[in-house]
């Protein structure tokens, strides 16, 4: 069976081919014209895509270099360049589809509906991205800062669009969603160049308080990491249950906080030992007394004893 055995009427690339009873009438010139036009359009689309991608890459390189010169955060720079890349690539694809005479109206409608559905499904992720952008813009902290976020604390290792990475003092990595970080209480310990160390020392009630204050003050000032200005402030804090409490406020550079903290503790202890200042410990005094029994109970007990002897 050949195509000439039955009449057929069909269309290919707009070219009409008529096959009737073995007599073939083919518009060869029209077919060649359409094929040439389609091949040209395909080649044009390929060239457009290649040149467009190269142009986008070159443009993004220039934009990234300009942004790096500015004071913008690295995470914000990555977000801006990624957004521009996606926008330009989508525009290039749509333009290439128009060269092939593909209808874009229905496709845009489908993409819009899909975007709404996807947006509802990933609304938490969108919230994380939005909060990440706000934090990048407001800069409550930066990479390298030591912060406390809610109940978690550590050094900021990386600020991403979706989450924030903390490195704890015991070398654990915490990944917190930006939505949680944004709605939590944030304490940044590196915002200011200097920090104050608040310590309380205890001495025995028999200690000369004035001498203890002077010894504590000199011990604090002897630590190299403690700043002379603002000068340390040492005052009598309170008379506790088993000790006299002395409060010491010392200032140090933020980067020297722990060196100053441990140095003060050791210096004050050594000074107390040198001047024979007693460091008290909690004591509990227990007094035992014989409770007097009521006369009626004593009489009842005596009566019961007599009856047992009888």
Domain ranges of the chain: 32-121, 142-188, 194-274
> Does domain 142-188 correspond to CATH entry 3.40.50.740?
no
Angle formed by the axes of helices 28-69 and 74-99, nearest 10°: 170
Between residues 161 and 142, the one the model is more confident about:
142
Count Cα atoms within 13 angstroms, Cβ side, for 80.
Answer: 18
- State the residue for tokens 């813009």: 137
**Position with higher pLDDT, 89 vs 250:** 250
pLDDT at 3: 41
* 211-249 per-position pLDDT tens digit: 999 999 999 999 999 999 999 999 999 998 888 999 999
pTM for the predicted model, two decimal places: 0.56
Spatial separation of the C-alpha atoms in residues 116 and 87, rounded to whole Å: 18
Which of residues 200 and 106 earns the better pLDDT score? 200
Question: Across-strand partners of 282?
Answer: none
* Nearby residues of 48 by Cβ (< 8 Å), 6 or more positions away: 92, 95, 96, 99
Task: Please indicate whether the domains covering 32-121 and 142-188 agree at the CATH topology level.
Answer: no
Q: pLDDT class for 113, splitting at 50, 70, 90? A: confident
The answer to whether 220 and 267 have CB atoms below 8 angstroms apart is yes
* DSSP letters for the chain: --GGGS-EEEEETTEEEEEETTEEEE-HHHHHHHHHHHHHHHHHHHHHHHHHHHHHHHHHHHHHHHHHHTT--HHHHHHHHHHHHHHHHHHHHHHHHHHTT---HHHHHHHHHHHHHHHHHTHHHHHHHHHHHHHHHH-S--TT-EEEETTEEEEEEEE-SSEEEEE-TTS-EEEEEHHHHHHS-EEETTSSSEEEEEEEEEE-TTS-HHHHHHHHHHHHHTSTTB-SSSPPEEEEEEE-SSSEEEEEEEEEEGGGHHHHHHHHHHHHHHHHHHTT-------------PPPPPHHHHHHHHHHHHHHH-
Q: How confident is the model at residue 296 (pLDDT cuts 50, 70, 90)?
A: low
Please state the rounded mean pLDDT for residues 281-299: 63
Kindly report the CATH number that applies to the domain delimited by 194-274. Answer: 3.30.70.100
CATH number, span 32-121: 1.10.287
How far are the Cα atoms of 50, 57, 70, 74, 133 from residue 60, in angstroms, in the given order? 16, 5, 15, 15, 20
> What is the pLDDT averaged over residues 260-273?
95
């Amino acid at each position: 069976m050949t195509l000439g055995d039955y009449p057929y009427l069909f269309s290919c690339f707009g070219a009409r081919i008529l096959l009737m009873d073995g007599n073939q009438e083919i518009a060869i010139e029209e077919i060649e014209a359409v094929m040439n036009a389609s091949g040209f359009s395909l080649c044009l689309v390929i060239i457009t895509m290649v040149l467009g991608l190269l142009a986008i890459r070159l443009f993004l390189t220039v934009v990234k270099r300009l942004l790096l010169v500015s004071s913008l955060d690295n995470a914000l720079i990555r977000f801006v360049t990624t957004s521009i890349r996606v926008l330009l690539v989508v525009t290039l694809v749509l333009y290439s589809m128009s060269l092939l005479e593909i209808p874009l109206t229905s496709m845009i409608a489908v993409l819009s509906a899909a975007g709404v559905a996807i947006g509802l499904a990933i609304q938490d992720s969108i919230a994380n991205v939005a909060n990440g952008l706000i934090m990048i813009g407001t800069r409550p902290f930066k990479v390298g800062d030591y912060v406390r976020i809610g109940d978690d604390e550590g050094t900021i290792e990386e600020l991403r669009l979706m989450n924030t990475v903390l490195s704890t003092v015991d070398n654990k990595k915490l990944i917190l969603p930006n939505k949680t970080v944004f709605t939590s209480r944030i304490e940044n310990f590196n915002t200011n160049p200097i920090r104050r160390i608040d310590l309380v020392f205890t001495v025995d009630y028999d200690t000369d308080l004035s001498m203890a204050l002077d010894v504590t003050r000199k011990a604090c000032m002897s630590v190299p990491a403690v700043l002379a200005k603002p000068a340390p402030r040492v005052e009598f804090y309170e008379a506790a249950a088993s000790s006299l409490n002395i409060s010491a406020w010392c200032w140090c550079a933020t980067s020297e906080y722990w060196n100053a903290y441990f140095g003060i503790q050791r210096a004050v202890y050594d000074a107390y030992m040198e001047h024979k200042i007693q460091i008290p410990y909690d004591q509990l005094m227990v007094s035992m007394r014989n409770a007097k029994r009521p006369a009626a109970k004593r009489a009842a007990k005596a009566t019961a004893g007599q009856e047992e002897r009888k």
